[in-house]
Structure 1
């Protein structure tokens, strides 16, 4: 044990001038106790509000996206009816894509009006689908369904044709001015 103490003493002597021997303030202990006894204000925990706001936001987003989708599932429809709906839906989606591609400041009003009209057609179509699910298929309901789908396609084609005519008219007018 004595040998170890000698080693420590030698070690202390070796690093004697390298120690930090700065004196602490005489008020240090008093300052420390004051800080310790000082009442700290309670931290407000907003975690609950953040979680509630996140839930409301997610519910709002899910409601928004679910309202824009039409019911695609026919529980009581025949294979032919489902197939007809699929084919027409693809054609309508393609026409809508073409319509959105034609978007420009000059066509903005026409496209917005067309999309508003498409929402009317969609709501009519949803009523027809509910009727099919409620009462089953009959010739009148199937005819109304196909008529609605054909009307939507021809409406979109007419709108696209009007946009192209407007663009052609603008181009020919611009050419005459130059």
Structure 2
């Protein structure tokens, strides 16, 4: 340990004349304080810009997601195609409402499976609408669109029928046990 202390002492003795021991002038503290104040001001502006940019990004994301939730309208399609789409859409919504009214613990699995299947049919429909948008109206695409809409309605009707049959069976079983 003494050897290390001696080495350090010797090192400092060798550097003794090389130290910067010059006194700072009296204006140094003032200049330094002014520079620090200027830096603080710059930081405040950058913070405000960061907050403003975050707000803009938040608004953009919010608008993007709310626009995706709106139902697609066939703005590009003919009047007949739009009418057909709106009629079928109303029918599909009515069937979905009927199914949701029948929701119960016994029917929950059937309804959840039906909603998953409806999502698949909806994505197929979105693909057809996209094709209509890109390629314009043509008979095969119009037929595919109508077929998809009819399939969704008949599927929902069969689900409703299945739910009603399940309810009847439950009532019969309850009546037999009494």
The TM tier, using the shorter chain, reads 0.5 to 0.7
SS of 2:72's equivalent? coil
Match of 2:102 in 1: 102
**Unaligned stretches of 5+ in structure 2?**
1-50
Are 1:143 and 2:153 an aligned pair? no
Cα separation, partners in 2 of 1:100 and 1:60, compared to 1, 3 Å: farther
TM-score by length of 2: 0.64
CA RMSD, Structure 1 to Structure 2 (Å):
2.6
Cα separation, partners in 2 of 1:108 and 1:51, compared to 1, 3 Å: farther
Aligned residues: 131
SS of 2:155's equivalent? helix
Q: CA deviation at 1:90?
A: 0.4
TM-score by length of 1: 0.64
Deviations 1:134-168 (A, max 9, x none): 11111100000000000000000000000000000
After the TM superposition, list the runs of 4 or more consecutive aligned residues in structure 1 that deviate by more than 6 angstroms: 50-61
Structure 1 CA distance for aligned equivalents of residues 80 and 88 of structure 2: 12
Higher helix share: 2
**Unaligned stretches of 5+ in structure 1?**
1-49
Structure 2 CA distance for aligned equivalents of residues 139 and 108 of structure 1: 39
Cα separation, partners in 2 of 1:52 and 1:175, compared to 1, 3 Å: farther
